[in-house]
């Protein structure tokens, strides 16, 4: 009988894991509180420019990953990670002070600059978060830990999304949002101070300041390991698909359903809950030795439910507010489809992150996370640009989602082909081995 996996509660009681979990949870809350407050303000104050800005916002946030991920990975491997995490959280506090200025003056240029700065901060936090996790956990515990981290991230997305959307529409909402992001940033610094120190992965590692050359070199290093590269490409597609889907929800709610900002917040909240459910579900179902089969199942679900959501939305009646959505059969079907889509999305990502962490050498682990972040950013920025271009060219949100569903089906079949190819190679190796 296989050993039982450690429980969620046991990990959350761990003095090693809990501070890291809380730190990343609060970071996700703050990123999305700010981002959704910005999105709602843009949609309802900038008229026809609002949807274009919303589509570009994802790219602005992710662009720093393409520029700075190589440096971030090198720094995480060369220095003690818990100390760097604390420095990154102090950086977040400074950005939130600037965000308050942007909200108070209504200056969208300042707010977009803060969004870019948060992207830079997240770029340096990501290899620290995923790089330090295998220092604390191994085997099936690492699978559960990754599931909790992914679920915590999307719980943070839910809480931040709801809070940002609700606070900014209040009287003096910009001030309320400004105070909220400052309080959460301070709480994140407090949590980060409890993360235990770890061993430096590669002392004396030289940092490369030529960002383009360092990025190319890092991608070449990742591509030399086939399993690592496979995981990198799979994760990058997950983020590209997520960029498109999340960019289209606010536009669809505003332009097709003629919904209020509260409807946008409800849809994003349901999506975040679903991803959290999917992540936790994968953490319990997936064994450490069988990761990729679940990716295919979840990939099929992503395509089916993305297409279903697009078709339902295209024929749905006007749903101007949350009571109308909840009282309507169309609204209920939209939310159910959206929840199923998000559950499949959460299940798609967890096995790939575990595969990347376990396949990378410990001395290079943070840099391989950095390589994944570079590819995530490139794929997501291209996806955001294509989405903005298609929208500006007259293609509606429903059609963009249908195209995304078809593209995702192609990627899912690619993953299936890789699994079958690996199984065939294993059988040939066994057949060619000498018999005893």
> Which one-letter DSSP state was computed for residue 195?
S
More confident residue, 166 or 402: 402
- In this prediction, residue 190 carries a pLDDT of 94
Average pLDDT over residues 411-428: 66
pLDDT over threshold 60, residue 1: no
| % of residues, the chain, pLDDT over 90 | 14
Q: Tell me which architecture the domain covering 8-195+217-431 has in CATH.
A: Up-down Bundle (1.20)
- In this prediction, residue 45 carries a pLDDT of 67
199-220 b/e (C-beta count within 10 Å ≥ 16 → b): eebbeebeeeeeeeebbeebbe
Average pLDDT over residues 77-106: 89
- In this prediction, residue 290 carries a pLDDT of 57
| % of residues, the chain, pLDDT over 70 | 88
- In this prediction, residue 427 carries a pLDDT of 41
Residue 198 · residue 132 · CB < 8 Å: yes
- In this prediction, residue 177 carries a pLDDT of 86
35-46 b/e (C-beta count within 10 Å ≥ 16 → b): bbbbbbbbbeee
Range of weakest confidence among 296-300, 316-320, 336-340 = 316-320
Confidence band for 428, pLDDT divided at 50, 70 and 90 = very low
User: Both tokens of residue 389?
Assistant: 């271009």
Nearest to 254 by CA among 42, 57, 112: 42
Average pLDDT over residues 313-339: 86
**Can you give the C-alpha Rg of the chain in angstroms?**
21
DSSP 356-384: HHHHS-GGGHHHHHHHHHHHHHHHHHHHH
pLDDT over threshold 70, residue 294: yes
pLDDT over threshold 80, residue 137: no
Q: What is the pLDDT of residues 254-289, one digit of tens each?
A: 777 777 767 877 887 788 788 878 877 776 666 545
Per-domain residue ranges of the chain: 8-195+217-431
Q: Return the residue matching tokens 């992207």.
A: 119
More confident residue, 390 or 117: 117
Neighbours of 125 (CB within 10 A): 23
CA–CA separation, 248 and 254 (whole Å): 10
More confident residue, 159 or 106: 159
More confident residue, 32 or 395: 32
- In this prediction, residue 421 carries a pLDDT of 61
Hey, is 287 helix, strand or coil?
strand
Confidence band for 433, pLDDT divided at 50, 70 and 90 = very low
- In this prediction, residue 434 carries a pLDDT of 45
**Phi, psi dihedral angles at 411 (to 5 degrees):** -65, -40
Average pLDDT over residues 185-210: 85
Average pLDDT over residues 287-309: 81
- In this prediction, residue 178 carries a pLDDT of 87
Hey, is 290 helix, strand or coil?
strand
More confident residue, 211 or 35: 35
């Amino acid at each position: 009988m296989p050993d039982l996996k450690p429980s969620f509660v046991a990990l959350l009681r761990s003095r090693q894991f809990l501070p890291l979990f809380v730190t990343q949870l609060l970071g996700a809350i703050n990123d999305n509180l700010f981002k959704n407050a910005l999105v709602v303000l843009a949609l309802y104050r900038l008229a026809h420019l609002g949807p274009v800005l919303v589509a570009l916002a994802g790219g602005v946030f992710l662009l720093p990953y393409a520029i700075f991920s190589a440096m971030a990975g090198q720094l995480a491997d060369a220095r003690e990670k818990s100390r760097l995490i604390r420095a990154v959280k102090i950086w977040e506090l400074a950005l939130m002070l600037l965000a308050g200025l942007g909200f108070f003056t209504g200056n969208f240029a300042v707010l977009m600059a803060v969004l870019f700065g948060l992207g830079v901060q997240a770029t340096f936090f990501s290899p620290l978060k995923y790089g330090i996790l295998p220092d604390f956990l191994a085997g099936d515990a690492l699978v559960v830990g990754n599931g909790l981290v992914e679920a915590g991230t999307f719980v943070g997305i839910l809480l931040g999304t709801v809070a940002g959307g609700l606070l900014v529409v209040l009287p003096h909402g910009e001030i309320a949002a400004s105070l909220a992001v400052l309080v959460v940033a301070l709480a994140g610094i407090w949590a980060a101070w409890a993360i235990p120190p770890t061993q430096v992965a590669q002392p004396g590692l030289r940092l490369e300041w030529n960002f383009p050359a360092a990025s190319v070199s890092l991608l070449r290093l990742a591509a030399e390991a086939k399993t690592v590269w496979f995981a990198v490409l799979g994760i990058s597609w997950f983020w590209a698909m997520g960029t498109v889907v999340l960019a289209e929800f606010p536009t669809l709610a505003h332009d097709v359903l003629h919904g209020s900002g509260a409807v946008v917040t409800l849809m994003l909240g349901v999506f975040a809950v679903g991803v959290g459910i999917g992540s936790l579900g994968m953490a319990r179902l997936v064994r450490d030795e069988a990761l990729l089969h679940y990716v295919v199942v979840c990939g099929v679900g992503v395509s089916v439910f993305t297409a279903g959501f697009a078709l339902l939305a295209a024929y749905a009646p006007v749903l101007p507010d949350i009571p109308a959505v909840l009282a309507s059969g169309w609204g209920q079907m939209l939310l159910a489809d959206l929840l199923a889509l998000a559950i499949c999305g959460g299940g798609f990502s967890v096995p790939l992150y575990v595969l990347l962490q376990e396949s990378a050498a410990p001395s290079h682990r943070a840099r391989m996370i950095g390589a994944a972040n570079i590819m995530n950013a490139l794929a997501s920025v291209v996806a955001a640009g294509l989405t903005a271009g298609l929208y500006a060219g007259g293609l509606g949100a429903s059609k963009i989602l249908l195209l995304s569903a078809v593209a995702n089906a192609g990627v899912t079949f690619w993953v299936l082909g890789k699994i079958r190819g690996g199984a065939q190679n294993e059988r040939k190796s066994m057949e060619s081995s000498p018999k005893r």
